[in-house]
Structure 1
């Protein structure tokens, strides 16, 4: 008798998660409706991706040296045990770099491309009636506040990533469960980061946007995880970044109970 009651919340959570994924897909639709604006949004992402890509490829190139550095305890083990441990360490290092790198990339790109992404976000909101109760925030104070908030989120991702790195050494759990947890945490941080601009237009800061997104966490996670996974694909971060900004405007409106369809 309890099965239907348990199944209903699970189904609702899955639906809301998929709704969040759909918000990113709707953001991608802007490429068709506003190709010029979206292509402008690729420019800052491309600049940032060049720098982060070079750093990541350097990590991959020297990953064997790094794995030896972080596993000194395995020096006296048998060849097989040492090799397996260091392969796991290499995978965990790359996963740590992926989590911190994606969150950092988003933070830096949003700062570099602030005028472009602000325009994209506003265009989405204008399509559905504009921003209710918009406040006039001067550019430099807004940039300082968004930069400080982004740095806090990046700083938060580092200890979380280190914890997942250590958990990555646990057999099976580290290879199957930890990547899923990493994607969820990374997705949440991206969702909180990307909705910054539309929340600032409403005079709301980091604490408020966290609270609002927590009220419908599955939808925020669906959006954020979809963005996170796209950002892990080569060139995905460059091409998807403008769409992620557009989707974040939709996520903001939905989370605040504002219309995201022209029929409402």
Structure 2
């Protein structure tokens, strides 16, 4: 079960906390940046929605307020959706050397004296994969934002789909650390993860929920990378101690 790998990753880091305490630093930096960005968005969201809906100015009360209030909330939810996904990507980018070292130590712990085969991806390929992943996330964000306007479905189905999509993207980003060390490009990474969707969602959905709490996200990030390394080994049928 995917959730089990998430717990094992947290336990692994807890037993090596002196060695990997520094892995919290990238999350702290990313959190500061995102808090500032979210505060700015929340401050101006009403003005942006009012600017985008001039046609509602002539509607009878209370419909302009109802529409704009709904769009305010929808836009904030969309921003939170993007924040959860890109928070992980930014934290991993800022802490790449830390998390690569952590993933390598997890692999060595699981297979003493034996490292996973395959050359590491080039820096350029890693950057291209990161850009492609962000673009995929943006496409999903637009689709979910548009679907939010559908009565009933937008208030029930869309949030559930959104958390599932967020969980999948989180797992892809986190396992990307271990998979890139194995020379696995993004297309093959997605193919591997899709072949074990229930395992991936079991890991990613609980993580997506707790990552909505910023300080929790920082504390869990190193363990999430460790757990994602174990998950990578599982989907590739590599031995796990």
| Normalised TM-score (structure 2) | 0.91
Q: In structure 2, what is the Cα distance between the partners aligned to 1:230 and 1:37?
A: 24
Q: Does 1:57 align with 2:39?
A: yes
Say if 1:111 and 1:143, in contact at 8 Å, map to a contact too. no
Q: How does 1:99-178 map to 2 (within 5 A)?
A: 99-129=81-111, 132-137=115-120, 142-178=122-158
Tell me the SS of whatever aligns to 1:29: helix
Aligned-residue Cα RMSD (Å) equals: 1.8
Q: Does 1:227 align with 2:227?
A: no
Q: Which moved more, 1:213-222 or 1:122-131?
A: 122-131
Gaps of 5+ in 2: none
In structure 2, what is the equivalent of residue 37 of structure 1?
19
Deviations 1:190-244 (A, max 9, x none): 2112111211222211111111111111111221222222221132221121111
Q: Does 1:26 align with 2:8?
A: yes
**Offset of 1:169 from its aligned partner?**
2.1
Tell me the SS of whatever aligns to 1:127: helix
Tell me the SS of whatever aligns to 1:242: helix
In structure 2, what is the equivalent of residue 69 of structure 1?
51
Give the number of equivalent residue pairs: 240
Say if 1:121 and 1:249, in contact at 8 Å, map to a contact too. yes
**Offset of 1:129 from its aligned partner?**
0.9
In structure 2, what is the equivalent of residue 48 of structure 1?
30
Say if 2:13 and 2:226, in contact at 8 Å, map to a contact too. no
Q: In structure 2, what is the Cα distance between the partners aligned to 1:248 and 1:31?
A: 12
Q: In structure 1, what is the Cα distance between the partners aligned to 2:16 and 2:116?
A: 26
Say if 2:24 and 2:222, in contact at 8 Å, map to a contact too. yes
In structure 2, what is the equivalent of residue 242 of structure 1?
222
Gaps of 5+ in 1: 1-18
Q: In structure 1, what is the Cα distance between the partners aligned to 2:69 and 2:13?
A: 40
Q: In structure 1, what is the Cα distance between the partners aligned to 2:21 and 2:42?
A: 30
Deviations 1:19-61 (A, max 9, x none): 1122212222134201123421110111111112210111112
In structure 1, what is the equivalent of residue 176 of structure 2?
196
Q: In structure 2, what is the Cα distance between the partners aligned to 1:126 and 1:93?
A: 44
Q: In structure 2, what is the Cα distance between the partners aligned to 1:71 and 1:39?
A: 48
**Offset of 1:143 from its aligned partner?**
3.5
Q: How does 1:252-263 map to 2 (within 5 A)?
A: 252-260=232-240, 262=241
Return closer, same or farther for 1:45/1:147 CA change in 2, 3 Å cut-off: farther
**Offset of 1:153 from its aligned partner?**
0.8
Q: Does 1:206 align with 2:186?
A: yes
Q: In structure 2, what is the Cα distance between the partners aligned to 1:142 and 1:238?
A: 28
**Offset of 1:160 from its aligned partner?**
1.5
